[in-house]
Each structure stands twice: as C-alpha cells, then as structure tokens.
Structure 1
C-alpha cells in the first residue's frame, strides 16, 4: 500500500512507551529545573557579594574609585545571568509539572500547555545562544582591531 500519512490530518497517539518516556523526561527536567533555581539563587548571592567586595576595595588606602563601577558592572552582569538561569528553569519546571499532571489525568489540554512550556524553554535557549554568539563575534572583532591598533 502506497498511502501517504499526513500527520496534520491524523491525531498522534501517546502509547505506553511514549508515556513512559515522557514520564521519565518530566522527572529529570523537574530535577534540572530545581537545580537551576538553586544555582540561579547562588549566582545572584555571589553577584551581591562580589559587588560588596569591590566596593570595600575602593575604600582601602590606595583603593581606586573605578573599583566601585567595576563592582556594579560585575553585579549587574551576574544578576542578568541569574535571571536568565531562573527563567529557563521556570520553563522547564512548568513543563515537568504539567507533563506529570497530564499523564496522570490523561488530559490533552494540560499536555498541550506542557509542550508549550517546553517550546518556550527551547526558544529562550535559542535566543540566549544567538546573543552569546553575537557577543563572542563582537569580542573577536574588537580583539582583532585592538591587536591591529597596538602594533
């Protein structure tokens, strides 16, 4: 039989094997999300501590006033990183919780919301990756220009 199956016209089914895989995936993503929450809090606390260290360095004899600005910049950068880690963990956590509920209750709407959160996680991760690559490219270009001007 040479029949083409269009997945958009047919409803996909989650069989026992898929359900087992999704259940285990939800368990692991919940673990990763909770770990991500913990790490984002540690990053935020570390950012505040580092900022205070730089501020106290500026008050020492011979301390530079620029240390205060450096402390603020480092604090802001690390708080930004902590916020990114927090939101990525939040999307993963929502995915895992909704997936567990959907599989227990056999609820299609909750399953759809779960996959929406997974999509949002990957979209956010993609955007962060693109921004990271752009920053690396700009740093590379800046380094090349600085090397050329330093000759």
Structure 2
C-alpha cells in the first residue's frame, strides 16, 4: 500500500455568483454620482467658456497686432492659440461628458435598483479614468520631450558661447 505524501489542500470556498451592494455602498455611489453630475455640468459650462475664448483668440491677436506695430507677428499666432484652445475644449468636453453620464446613470441605478444601469454607469466611470490615464501619459511624455529639448538647446547655446 502506497502512502500519499502530498499535503492535503483545504477545499477553496465556492465564489459567490452575485455582487451585493450594501446600503452604505449604495449611499457612497449615490453621493459620488451627485458630485459627478455636478462636476459634469460645471465642466460643460467651462468647456463653453474655453470654446468662446478660442473663437475670440484670433480676433484678439489681430487687434493687438494692428494697435502695436511691434506685435506684427502676433497676428499669425491667433490661429495657433485658437487651435490649442479648441483642443483643450474637446478634452474638457469628454471629461465633463463621462462625469455627467456616470452621475446620471448611477443615480438611476440606485433609485431603481437596476443592475444594467449600474453596469453602464461603471462603464462611463471606466471611460473617464481611461481618458484621465491617457491624458496623463501624453502630458508626461510632452514634459519629457520638453526637458530633452531644453537640454539640447542648452548644450547648443553653451557650445556657441565657447567659440
């Protein structure tokens, strides 16, 4: 008769098939949804202001160039500034949209105890954080490129001074 010397593994508990949200968890989700809804609306208003600023940036730079001959090159900068303001407005709009959609859906999910609405709300929250993560990666990458550019410019300037 052979003896099995392997250690006996305790049986793993069966995973539950459902996630249950306690009243406290639902309260926290509801409050998070209210704040997200509010921040979404404020984000839409902010996006509108940024867009208005973008549309007037070209006019502002043209006016400055016509009033001061020393700023003649500023007229061409209006289009560049307008482009960057519109780019910021687009990003701001999507941040506000995902916040608003999460807030709206989570309030409905909690009020009606609707699992499908909760899933959609959490999907919008995931999209918000995904956009936040991608934006962070892009900004860090731009910082690194600017830092490298500054170092290269500094080396170039130092080599020009040594001549």
Q: TM-score, normalised by structure 2?
A: 0.83
Q: Is the 8 A contact 1:88 1:124 kept in 2?
A: yes
Q: Structure 2 stretches of 5 or more lacking a match? A: 1-9, 159-163
- CA distance change for structure 1 residues 78 and 122 in 2, over 3 Å: closer, same or farther? same
State whether structure 2 residue 116 is matched by structure 1 residue 106. Answer: no
Q: Is the 8 A contact 1:57 1:63 kept in 2?
A: no
Q: Report runs of 4+ in structure 1 exceeding 6 Å deviation.
A: none
Alpha-carbon distance, 1:63 to partner: 5.1
**Partner of residue 141, structure 1:** 148
For residues 122 and 105 of structure 1, what CA distance do their matches in structure 2 show? 26
Q: Structure 1 stretches of 5 or more lacking a match? A: none
Question: How many equivalent residue pairs?
Answer: 149
For residues 13 and 143 of structure 2, what CA distance do their matches in structure 1 show? 44
For residues 84 and 53 of structure 2, what CA distance do their matches in structure 1 show? 11
For residues 50 and 112 of structure 1, what CA distance do their matches in structure 2 show? 42
Larger-Rg structure: 2
Q: TM-score, normalised by structure 1?
A: 0.90
Alpha-carbon RMSD across the aligned residues, in angstroms, is 1.8
Q: Name the SS of the counterpart of 1:19 in structure 2.
A: helix
For residues 127 and 117 of structure 1, what CA distance do their matches in structure 2 show? 15
Alpha-carbon distance, 1:125 to partner: 0.7
**Partner of residue 102, structure 2:** 95
